[in-house]
Structure 1
Amino acid sequence: MTETLKPDLNRAYILEVLRTLLAIPSPSGYCHDIMSRVSEEAARLGFSLETTPKGNGILTIPGTGSAGDPAKGTIGLTAHVDTLGAMVRAVKPDGKIRFTPIGGYAMQTVEGEYCLIHTRDGRKYEGTVLSTKPSVHVYPDARDWKREEANMEIRIDEPVKSKEDTEKLGIAVGDFISWDPRTRMLDNGWIKSRHLDDKASVAALFGLLEWLARADRTPVRPVKIIFSTYEEVGHGSSHIPPDIMEMIAVDMGAIGDDLSATERDVSICAKDSTGPYDYEMTSKLIELAKREGIPYAVDIYPHYGSDASAALHGGSNIRAALVGPGVHASHGMERTHADAIVGTAALLLAYILES
C-alpha cells in the first residue's frame, strides 16, 4: 500500500451538485433532463459523456498506463440517476388518477406526498398522493384501509370533476409521475430528501471528477463512469463496455436491523440478494478505508441488488464490488450525512489511483 492520499475534496461543490440533481425529476425511464445536466457538468470539468441507446451516460478517464498490470483492464464505476416514481395507469371517473409504481417501495411511504404529472407534450400538473379513503372524519375504516395500489390515487390540483376534465388537461395513461424530493440540507451536515438513492452517489462521483481535474491527476488504469437510468427497475448497467474488468457499484448503504452502517459511514457491502461480491476487491476497499481513516462499515443486504449485479446477470465477465454512503429509511423519507458522501468519493479516489 502507498502512503495515505487524503484528498482535499470540495465538500461545498459535492453538496451543490447533489442539491441540483435532487431538484430534477428523474423516475426510471424519464431521465432525459437529468442526463442533460450530468453531461453539462461533466463538460464543465473537462470530461465528455457518451450516451448509450437506452440513455445511460459513459464518461471515460484515460489511464496513464505507466504502471500496474494492464491485464486488469478498465475499472468501471456506476451510479444511477433514476429514482422511484410512478406512471398514470388510468384516469378515474371522478377525474383522479390511478397510478402504477415505478420501482419497489411501500405505498405508505408515498401517502400524502406532493407530485408532478408530466404529460407527453411537456405540461406539468401538481397533485397529491392519497388513499381512496383519505379522511377519518368521513370513513370509519380509514386508519385500517390497506395501503396498496388499488386503494391509492392522485388528487390533481386543477378544477377536475370527471375523466373528461382530466383528459382535457392532456393527462393520459402512460404519463410519468415524479415525487417532490422535499430536500433539506442542514448546516450540521445532515441531508434529508427523497432520492438520495442514488443521487448522493452521483454527487460523490462528481466530487471525484472535480478533484481529478483540479489536482491534474490521472489514474493508472482507464476508468469508465456509468451513469445509469434504469437501475430502480433492475437493468441499469446490465450491458457495459467490454473492456471493463472490475466494476464498483456506487449505491446507497442500507441502515437498520442487524446492520452496522450509520449515515456518516461509507457502506461496503460484502453480499446482497444476488450473492457475495468479489473477495479481493472488497478486501482492498476495506484496507483502503482503514488506511485513509474513512469511517466505514461492512454489511450484508439480503433485500438489495445493484447495477453491478445487473452487469453480472447481463453476462459481463467482471469482478464486482459495492460501496456507497449510508442512507436511513431507503425508498422512503431518506437521510444521510455529507461526511458519508465525501467519504465515498475519497475511498473511490484511493481505489482508482492505486489500482
Structure 2
Amino acid sequence: MHVSIDDNYVLSFLLELLNTPSPTGYTHHIMERIAQEAKRLGFTYESTQKGCGIIRVSGHASDANRVICLSAHADTLGAMVRSINDDGTLRLTSIGGYMMNAIENEYCQIHTRSGKVYTGTIQTNQPSTHVFRNSDELKRDDKVMVVRIDELVHTEKDTQQLGIRTGDYVSFEPRAVHTPSGFIKSRHLDDKASVAALFGLLESMSRTKWQPRHDTVIFITNYEEIGHGASYIPADITEMIAVDMGAIGDDLNCKETDVSICAKDSSGPYDYFMTGTLIELAERDGIQYVTDIYPFYGSDASAALRGGNNIRAALIGPGVQASHAMERTHEQAVINTARLLAAYICE
C-alpha cells in the first residue's frame, strides 16, 4: 500500500512544535496544541493523569490481540531556577542530560508561576575575556552558569519583584531553521521531529481515508527526558515502537538523511522480530535506513518495559546530529520515518 505523506504539512508542523517551549514538566502548552491538531484532523484525544496524549486509530483487521503503539515525546531539555544570585542573575538546575557548554550564550525564556515570561541569556559568571583573564579555562558546570535577565535588575530583591522565584522554568531559544538544502537545524529535534512524523501519518489518514491494518495508538509522552515518559501505557497495547532521534557519531552508521533502526541501547536489545520486520520493510520500500547500537541511550520503549508492561518493543527515528546540543536533521529522514511507520502498521 502506498501512503502519501505531505512533506509541507510535516515540516510546517515541526517548525511550530520547535517554537513552542516544552521543557520536561512544563509541557501543557505543547500538549494542548497537539490535542487541538489531533481533533482538527478528526481523531479523538485522551490525556493520562500525568498529561501524556493518547490518539486511537481503528484498524480494518478484526484482531483484538494485536494493538500497535507508536510513541514519541514532546518534552525537551531545559532548566529551572535554582536560586537568585546577589546581583539579580539566576542560578540554574538542569532538566535532562546535556553539557553545560552546549547552552552557553544561548537566549532563553523564564516562565513564572504567575504566567509572566521574561527573556534572558545563559552565560558563565566570567563571560568576558576583557575582564576575566582565565575565563576560557573555567569549567562549565551548574556552579558557574547564570541567566542574565533582560530587565533592570541589580539585586536579588529586584529580580524577586519581577515575580521570578525558585522553581520557575527556563526554556532555551530553539533557533529553528529549515534550509533550502533540506536540513532542519534547531534545538529539540529530539523528539519533536518524531512527533511531526507521527502527525504526518495522521494527516495522511485524514486526507486520503486509509486505515492501518491493526488498531493503532499514537502515544505522545511528556516526561521522556527524565526517564519515565511511557512507564504507563494503555493496557491493551501489545507492541510498541518508540519513535525517537537516531544518534550520529563515533562507531555509528547513521547520517542525517537516514532512518535509524536501533537494535540495542543502554537498556538492552529490542525485539528481534520487530526489528527484523522494520529492516525488511525499509529494504522493500527503498527507504534509506541504517541499523545501529546506542550505548548511552534509553527510550520510551525502555520505560514501558521497565514499568512492567507486557509488550514487545522496537526503536526507530530520524538521524539527528549533535543530539542534546544544537541539533540538525534532514527532511528526508523525517519523511522516511513516517513512511516506514506507515508500512509497519499496514502489514
Task: Give the alignment's TM-score, normalised by structure 1.
Answer: 0.97
SS in structure 2 of the partner of residue 207 of structure 1: helix
Instruction: State the secondary structure of the residue aligned to 1:166.
Output: helix
Note the C-alpha offset of 1:8.
Answer: 2.2
Residue 191 of structure 1 is matched in structure 2 by: 184
Runs of 4+ in 1 over 6 A off after TM superposition: none
Provide the residue aligned with 2:33 in structure 1: 37
- 1:44-83 equivalences under 5 Å are 44-66=40-62, 70-71=64-65, 73-83=66-76
The separation in 2 between residues aligned to 1:149 and 1:95, in whole angstroms, is: 17
Q: Deviations over 1:143-188 (max 9, x none)?
A: 0000011111110010000000000000000000000000110122
- For 2:103 and 2:16, locate their aligned partners in 1 and report how far apart those are by CA, in whole Å: 22
Distance in 2, matches of 1:151 and 1:120, equals 25
Q: Would you say the 8 A contact 1:6–1:292 is kept in 2?
A: no
Measured after TM superposition, the shift of residue 13 of structure 1 is: 0.3
Question: What residue in structure 1 maps to residue 153 of structure 2?
Answer: 160
Q: Does 1:276 align with 2:269?
A: yes
Partner residue in 1 for 2:9: 13
Partner of 1:326: 319
SS in 2 for 1:244: coil
Partner Cα separation in structure 1 for residue 271 and residue 44 of structure 2? 30
**Quick one: distance in 2 between partners of 1:204 and 1:194?**
17
Structure 2 counterparts to residues 248-267 of structure 1, below 5 A = 248-267=241-260
Letter in 2 for 1:34: I
The amino acid that maps onto 2:16 is T
Q: Which whole-Å CA distance do the structure 2 matches of 1:76 and 1:161 have between them?
A: 51
1:310 match: secondary structure: helix
* TM-fit CA distance, 1:317: 1.1
State the AA in 1 paired with 2:52: N
**Partner amino acid, structure 1, of 2:304:** A
Give the whole-Å Cα distance in 2 for the aligned partners of 1:123 and 1:198: 26
Q: Deviations over 1:35-61 (max 9, x none)?
A: 111011111110111011101000000
Mapped to 2, the partners of 1:6 and 1:200 lie a distance apart of 22
Q: Structure 1 unaligned runs (5+)?
A: none
Q: Which moved more, 1:184-193 or 1:298-307?
A: 184-193
Q: CA RMSD in A?
A: 0.8
Distance 2:87 2:306 in 1: 44
Aligned counterpart in structure 2 of residue 108 of structure 1, from 80, 101, 104? 101
| Structure 2 partner of 1:308 | 301
Give the whole-Å Cα distance in 2 for the aligned partners of 1:329 and 1:169.
35
Q: Which runs of 5+ in 2 are unaligned?
A: none
Structure-1 residue corresponding to 2:111 = 118
CA-to-aligned-CA distance 1:197-216 (integer Å, 9 cap, x gap): 00000000000111111221
Deviation at 1:70, TM superposition (A): 4.1
Q: If the length of structure 2 is used for normalisation, what is the TM-score?
A: 0.99
- Asked if 1:294 corresponds to 2:287, the answer is yes
1:28 aligns to 2:21 (yes or no): no
Amino acid at match of 2:121: T
What is the number of residues matched between the two proteins? 347
Q: How many percent identity over aligned positions?
A: 58
Q: After TM superposition, give the deviation of residue 75 of structure 1 in Å.
A: 0.3
1:222-233 pair list within 5 angstroms: 222-233=215-226
Q: For residues 180 and 129 of structure 2, what CA distance do their matches in structure 1 show?
A: 38
2-structure distance, mates of 1:228, 1:133:
38
After superposition, give the CA deviation of every residue in 1:256-313 in whole Å (9 maximum; x if it has no partner).
Answer: 1010010000000000000000000000000000011100000000000000000001
1:213 is the counterpart of 2:209: no
CA contact (8 A) 1:253 1:326 kept: yes
Q: Secondary structure at the match of 2:137?
A: coil
Distance in 2 between residues matched to 1:96 and 1:83, nearest whole Å: 23
Mapped contact 1:117–1:176 kept (Cα < 8 A): yes
Letter in 2 for 1:131: T
